[in-house]
Amino acid sequence: MATDQQSAPEGVGEFYDRITDVYAQVWGSNIHVGYWADAEDHTPIEQATERLTGLLVDRLAPEPDQHVLDVGCGIGQPAITLARSSGASVTGISVSGHQVARATERAREAGLGDRVRFQRADANDLPFPDASFDAAWAVESLIHMPDKDRALREVARVLRPGARLAIADMFHQPGTDLSYRGIVETVGIDEYRGMLERAGLIPLDVTDITERTRIPEPIKEAFRRRLLERAEEFLPTVGQEVYDQLRDPSSDVFDHPGFGYVLATARREAAT
């Protein structure tokens, strides 16, 4: 496992402060993976990532008068999509001050500044009262948290009894450990049910969708073209080695070797 003690939240926040703008320029406003039906599905990245967001909105199914917590909000696009499609209010958090500023600006530009708000906060110590949210999701944010049990306990604490949590995240395949410099801390898919139960959450489903997140070849090529067009911006951010892997057609970096992808849904236990 990674041993860099700067780690979450400071190291993760600084990492996303540095890469967010360039990443969004080449990938789009949803800073998470896309969802494709199969290798013949050539849906562009922006639409495929929005499709994954839609799957999560469906899992939560919030009502217009409800309040949803977005744990790891990126630059706000998933929260904006959820608010638009459901009428619910959203509070998003990130350890990246830059992401919070970008997300706040984007919500205001979308005309949703009164219902979609963002703040800098650590999921391990949420600044919200008990039972203050009707639903929550964590989209590719648990992977950055070394103490996932603590983070899930905090999320469970701020959920009302019966509220749902949806998770979309990467996991490591058996026999691998893909933790990296305190930025990425992976677990296996078989650990999710136990983590949810220890937090006082009832697992409803844990689904491996790895094959649906593999990027079709034409989409990889489109991404590589964007990288070449923005090389001067992208190269200083990721470094020469990563940049060379991303632009090399023979590299398997886009296939995330050793990683899988999980969707999970849980419900907060009812009050007794």
Smallest CA-to-CA distance from 18 within 139, 94, 77, 99 is with 99
CA 19-20-26 angle, 5° bins: 90
Contact 133, 65 (CB under 8 A): no
3-state secondary structure of 225: helix
Contact 70, 137 (CB under 8 A): yes
- What letters, b where the CB count within 10 A reaches 16 and e where it falls short, cover 182-216? bbbbbbebeebbebbeebbbbbeebeeebebbbbb
Rounded Cα distance between 27 and 50, Å, is 12
Question: How is residue 211 annotated by DSSP?
Answer: G
Rounded Cα distance between 96 and 16, Å, is 6
Rounded Cα distance between 144 and 133, Å, is 23
Measured distance between the N- and C-terminal CA atoms of the chain, rounded to whole angstroms:
39
Which residues are marked as active site? 140
